[in-house]
Amino acid sequence: MNILFLPEAEEALFEITLMNEENEAGSGEIFINDFLQRLSSFTIKGFDYAICPYPPLESMKFQSIAIDDWVIAFLQQDEDFVVHYILYQPGLR
């Protein structure tokens, strides 16, 4: 499956990567590579993920997974795994 990032998700991923890089040189690249590798392990064709349990995302019928402290809200569309939002999990409580 193809992983596609909508602008909001792409911006969040860029900001998270930049934040990691500012904390320690080289850690931004390590973060983004690890994140994308872990995300790709969830792109299983035909696997139906549950609807996200967080009310605003649930109302929009987004599916979700968590990678460390990040919630990835997405929709599976044909051959595409479309990431709509990347949100900080503790902030969703």
Here the tokens at position 23 are 């904390």
Residue 76 pLDDT: 92
> Domain span at residue 59?
2-92
| CA separation for the pair 87, 12 (Å, rounded) | 8
pLDDT tens-digit profile of 36-86?
Answer: 999 999 998 888 899 999 888 999 999 999 999 899 999 998 889 999 999
What pLDDT shows up at residue 89? 83
- pLDDT at res. 13: 95
**Angle (CA) 45 43 92, round 5°:** 130
How many structural domains comprise the chain?
Answer: 1
**CATH number where 83 lies:** 3.30.2310.20
At 11, the amino acid letter reads: E
Task: State the burial class of residue 65 (Cβ atoms within 10 Å of its Cβ: 0-12, 13-18, 19+).
Answer: middle
Q: Say what the pTM is.
A: 0.90
- How far is the C-alpha of 69 from the C-alpha of 67, rounded, in Å? 6
Measured distance CA(21)–CA(67) in Å, rounded: 19
